């Protein structure tokens, strides 16, 4: 499933308070995803022998690589969002710093696109993990029924 691309021209400008809430939501979601990735790693580890079979090996490798890529990308993104969130004072200090405010808005727009794409891609990888586990479980169930 392809993720939707975001057209930056149509991203609505938000107030500093809304941007604060959005940044906190992004941070919360990414921290949850970090925890969820540990769960998915343990889940995949519990089915590691079945994933090594000829039928599942190629798909397993693709899924594990996808999950690994998402795991590597999450920490830099979290740091970038936290730094961005800390710079929110530029908009709230009451001093007209037009150039800094414009840069902040552009950074916010690019972060919005980056986070949205990451979340869509992560959901696709998570779906692949569960599809792989479901396939393995069905195959194991069929084996047990044949015995």
List Cβ neighbours of 64 (8 Å cut-off, separation of 6 or more): 44
pLDDT tens for residues 2-33? 555 555 454 556 777 888 899 999 999 999 99
Q: Assess if residue 4 is contained within a domain.
A: no
Q: Assess if residue 83 is contained within a domain.
A: yes
pLDDT tens for residues 57-105? 888 899 999 999 999 999 999 999 999 988 887 777 667 777 887 888 8
Phi then psi for residue 14, to 5 deg, are: -115, 160
Domain enclosing residue 73, as ranges: 14-146
SS (H, E, C) the chain: CCCCCCCHHHCCCCCHHHHHHHHHHHHHHHHHHHHHHHHHHHHHHHCHHHHCCCCCHHHHHHHHHHHHHHHHHHHHHHHHHHHHHHCCHHHHCCCCCHHHHHHHHHHHHHHHHHHHHHHHHHHHHHHHHHHHHHHHHHHHHHHHHHC
User: What's residue 3's pLDDT?
Assistant: 54
Q: Assess if residue 5 is contained within a domain.
A: no
pTM to 2 decimal places? 0.80
User: What's residue 12's pLDDT?
Assistant: 55
Number of domains present in the structure of the chain: 1
């Amino acid at each position: 499933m392809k993720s939707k691309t975001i057209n930056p021209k149509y991203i609505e400008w938000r107030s500093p308070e809304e941007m604060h809430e959005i940044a906190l939501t992004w941070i919360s979601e990414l921290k949850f995803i970090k925890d969820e990735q540990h769960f998915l790693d343990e889940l995949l580890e519990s089915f590691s022998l079945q994933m090594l079979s000829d039928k599942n090996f190629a798909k397993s490798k693709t899924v594990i690589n996808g999950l690994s890529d998402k795991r590597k990308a999450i920490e830099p993104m979290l740091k970038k969002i936290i730094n961005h969130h800390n710079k929110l004072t530029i908009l709230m200090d009451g001093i007209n710093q037009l150039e800094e405010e414009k840069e902040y808005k552009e950074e916010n727009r690019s972060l919005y696109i980056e986070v949205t794409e990451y979340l869509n891609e992560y959901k696709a990888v998570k779906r692949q993990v569960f599809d792989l586990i479901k396939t393995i479980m069905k195959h194991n169930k069929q084996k047990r029924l044949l015995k």
